[in-house]
Structure 1
Amino acid sequence: MEQYLSRNISCENCKHAYSTFKIKSRYIRPLTHDSDFCSTYQSLETNPLLYYVSVCPYCGYAVSDEFNPKLTKEAHFAIQTKIQKHWNYKNYGQKRSVETAINSYKLGIYSGIIKKETPIVMAGLYLRLAWIYRTIEHSNTQEQRFLKLAVEQFELSYTLGDYEEKGMSEIKLLYLIGDLNCRLNLERQATRYFQMVIGHKHKEKEQRLVEKARDRWYEIRKSTKLKVSS
């Protein structure tokens, strides 16, 4: 149990204090990184994704660190009537299985929708849940489902500009939208976003991502030519 850190949280909805596990940073050692920034780890026990969402055991309100901590009166009332009213005490604050983690994400997504969290925050939840499904190799359908939801929110975030509040650069956002579209076999949309990265006015600042976008663009072109010739 030494890889776990217990964090104390005060629920903004019901005002109860509770504790929840996180993985200590020195135990987070990624082995590989996918093109959409998903990391793989030596074991599920040291995968920080499982603990990204914190769930209040008293009322069921679930949040990530990216959530705006403040609740409007309308959001507070909606959470009380749509979540807390139907909630039975359950503790998500201990060691989590993949199934428990998935449930915590779904609670976080539902809480975010009710609270009307920003698109960039919702996109992060959808994308990370897709990554968890990726660790379960037989769950490709669910992975695709949440990748689609993620890319929709990322595109909305690009339109609204809320990604800047979370410290994400425009180039990284455009690259990620392109990559997710590629994973969804939406090659035309992927090409469009990769081209936006390649031609971006600040491309010198993030040359690694620009090169990755160029490589993915060439892959799509090559694949398209092969399909046409066959």
Structure 2
Amino acid sequence: MLDALFTVEKDCPICEKKIKVTRVRSRLDMIKQDTDFCCQYKNVNPYYYAVWFCPHCSYAAQDTYFDEIVPAAAERIQKFFSERNVSIDLSGTRTREQAVVSYQLAILCAELAASPASRLAGLHLRLGWLYREAGQEEEERVILAKAAEYYEKTLAQESMPVGPMSELTITYLAAELLRRAGANEKALLYLSKVVSSPQAREEKRIADLARDVWQDMRAAAKAKIPAKQQG
């Protein structure tokens, strides 16, 4: 596991102090991928280290946009934590519990920064995956429902694509998270949008995933039994 991790030095964009962050080497052996794109790997879980944290000012954000903070948002975050005594060590090898804390802090910072819905959706999604890994089903359901809500806002408010995700992918993901959260009727509405979209031909993998989930849900509904959890 240690061979998969390495440390780099960064400047915190909030307090400008030097920090050390743990990164994961890109070559990991994937075991499987769930229907909401959660990947399981051998030896190390890269989601544990996707959030970078500054121990000096308590700023936390996903690595891909850690440096993307405007002055007004930085001021709000700095003021919030300056009024609280936060003493947390998230350096080095993280436990699952430390990873959960890192996402909770990143969500708080993203809310203080008024970040786009897509960023908040992604943070909630990955936090939900950590709860899944721990077998905390109720916590997972609540967080995935929140992720689905933010993906719905993403579809309504943001220009497409969002990073590597197309509108069709986000629509499918919102549907799958709603299904996992127990909102089956709403999930079916989003799945029908995916399978009937003209873009379905160009994004066959997403369309096929949507059809598989849709068919499983409809079959389960006819049999009057809960739809099975996939993956």
Q: Which residue of 1 aligns with 2:58?
A: 60
**8 Å CA contact retained: 2:73, 2:113:** yes
Q: Residues 87 and 59 of structure 1: is their aligned pair in 2 closer, same or farther, counting only changes over 3 Å? A: farther
- State the TM-score, normalized to the length of structure 1: 0.91
Q: Which residue of 2 aligns with 1:217?
A: 214
Q: RMSD between aligned alpha carbons?
A: 1.7
Q: Residues 41 and 72 of structure 1: is their aligned pair in 2 closer, same or farther, counting only changes over 3 Å? A: closer
**Cα drift, residue 33 of structure 1:** 0.8
Query: What are the Cα deviations for residues 16-63 of structure 1, in whole angstroms up to 9, with x where unaligned?
Result: 12111111112x2110111001112234xx100000100001000001
Q: Which residue of 1 aligns with 2:102?
A: 104
Aligned residues: 224
2:131 to 119, 130, 133: 133
The one-letter code of the counterpart of 2:166 is S
Relative to structure 2, which stretch is displaced further, 176-185 or 160-169? 160-169
- Structure 2's unaligned 5+ residue stretches are 226-231
Q: Residues 152 and 226 of structure 1: is their aligned pair in 2 closer, same or farther, counting only changes over 3 Å? A: same
Write the distance in 2 (CA, Å) between the matches of 1:200 and 1:68: 35
Q: Which residue of 2 aligns with 1:160?
A: 157
**8 Å CA contact retained: 2:142, 2:181:** no
Write the distance in 2 (CA, Å) between the matches of 1:71 and 1:180: 28
The one-letter code of the counterpart of 2:11 is S
Identity %: 28
**Cα drift, residue 88 of structure 1:** 4.3
- Structure 1's unaligned 5+ residue stretches are none
**What SS does structure 1 have at the residue aligned with 2:198?**
coil
**Cα drift, residue 9 of structure 1:** 1.8
- State the TM-score, normalized to the length of structure 2: 0.91
**Cα drift, residue 67 of structure 1:** 3.0
Write the distance in 2 (CA, Å) between the matches of 1:18 and 1:189: 44
Write the distance in 1 (CA, Å) between the matches of 2:60 and 2:118: 17
**What SS does structure 2 have at the residue aligned with 1:86?**
coil
The one-letter code of the counterpart of 1:8 is E
Query: What are the Cα deviations for residues 61-108 of structure 1, in whole angstroms up to 9, with x where unaligned?
Result: 001134373433432221122123324454322110011111111111
Q: Which residue of 1 aligns with 2:10?
A: 9
